[in-house]
Structures are given as C-alpha cells and as structure tokens.
Amino acid sequence: MTSPVIPVYKPDLGGNERRYVLECLDSTWISSLGAFIPKFEAAVAAVTGARHAIAVCNGTVALHLALHCLDLGAGDEVIVPTFTYIASVNTIAQTGARPVFADARPSDWNIDPDDAARLITPRTKAILLVHLYGAACDMTALTALSARHGLHLVEDCAEALGTTREGRHVGTYGIAGTFSFFGN
C-alpha cells in the first residue's frame, strides 16, 4: 500500500487566483487599499471567528506588530518554544525583549506547558506559542497558565489556518493570533 503524498511547499492555486491578481493589477490598487484587502480581512475573520482581522504583508510582520502592541522592551522576557520558525524568535528580539526557550513535547512537538511554567520569572510578560504543522497547542493548560500569572498570550498560527480545537479556531485564545500564507 502506498501512502498519499502531501507536499509541504506546493501552493494550491487551483481557484480564481490568476483572475484576482489580474483584476487587482487592472484596478491599479497594488498596495495599501483596493477592494481585495477588506474582503480578505472579512473572510479571515469569518473563517477564524476572530472579532477583527488586519492584513499585513506576511506572518513575520504580523508577529512583530502583535508584539509591538504589547509595549515590550529591554528587561522583559517572552517565553517561546525551542522548535519553531525563526520569525517567532526574531520578532521578540526586535522589541528589545529577551526570548526564553521552552521545550517541545514529544507527543506533538508543540510547547510543553510544564516547561513554560518553570521558566516564568517576574520579568516574564508574555508567552508566544506556536501551533506547528496544523496541530493545536494545549490551550487548556496554556490559557490557565497565562491567566494565573497575568501574562499576554500571543498565538503564532502561521502553520495552522483551519486548525480548530473543540470547535474554536486557534488564534482566538490569546490577545492576538497571527497567520501566514507562505507556501507550506
């Protein structure tokens, strides 16, 4: 028996993408405004159930924006998993805060809530968790942990558009959830 092949990096462009790109070019609104951005934001809000959705140019900028809005700076610490894409770490460093690495769980490679709990200090301001490869983190443990210590919870959902947990889309548990349309 052969296993189905699921490509990691192959974009699925089987719909109206070409038509929309050409329509966008023809409209001359190739940045900032135009008809597609509000449509896109409304569609993302509808799919995720988020109250608001804001489009920026990629998942890295979305993370930076979310962290910037938390007023983080030198002396602050943000807990982040060891196993992630580098943007989750770089954007913490860009705010001046220090990334503090929590280990991954063997079961799903996502952040281990018990290790995150051990790393909390008076300087900890936030947990930036990452839902890897479409698998949701343990949101019961992580929301309880962040509430207990008064920490912001930011969800990097770059790899998890479409991931729900008990009917709730990831990215709607914390103060902000960020997504990416990178090819994988």
Rule CB under 6 A: say whether 85 interacts with ligand PLP: yes
Q: Helix, strand or coil for residue 99?
A: strand
What is the token pair recorded at 127? Answer: 């947990």
Given 53, 81, 88, 89, the residue binding ligand PLP (CB under 6 A)? 88
Query: Could you say whether residue 158 binds ligand PLP (CB under 6 A)?
Result: yes
Residues β-bridged to residue 77: 98, 124
Site string for ligand PLP, 44-63 (x = CB under 6 A): --------------xxx---
Residue nearest to ligand PLP (CB): 59
The string of DSSP codes covering 108-130 is TSSB-HHHHHHT--TTEEEEEEE
**Residue 156, interface with ligand PLP (CB under 6 A)?**
yes
Is the CB of 124 or the CB of 180 nearer to ligand PLP?
Answer: 180
130 binds ligand PLP (CB under 6 A): yes
With a CB cutoff of 8 Å and minimum separation 6, the contacts of 74 are: 96, 97
CA 24/CA 36 separation, integer angstroms: 8
Q: Which is nearer to ligand PLP, 88 or 146 (CB)?
A: 88
**Opening angle at CA 13, ends 9 and 14, nearest 5:** 130
- Our CB check for ligand PLP shows the closer of 2 and 174 to be 174
Residues that bind ligand PLP (CB under 6 A): 58-60, 84-85, 87-88, 130, 156, 158-159, 180, 182
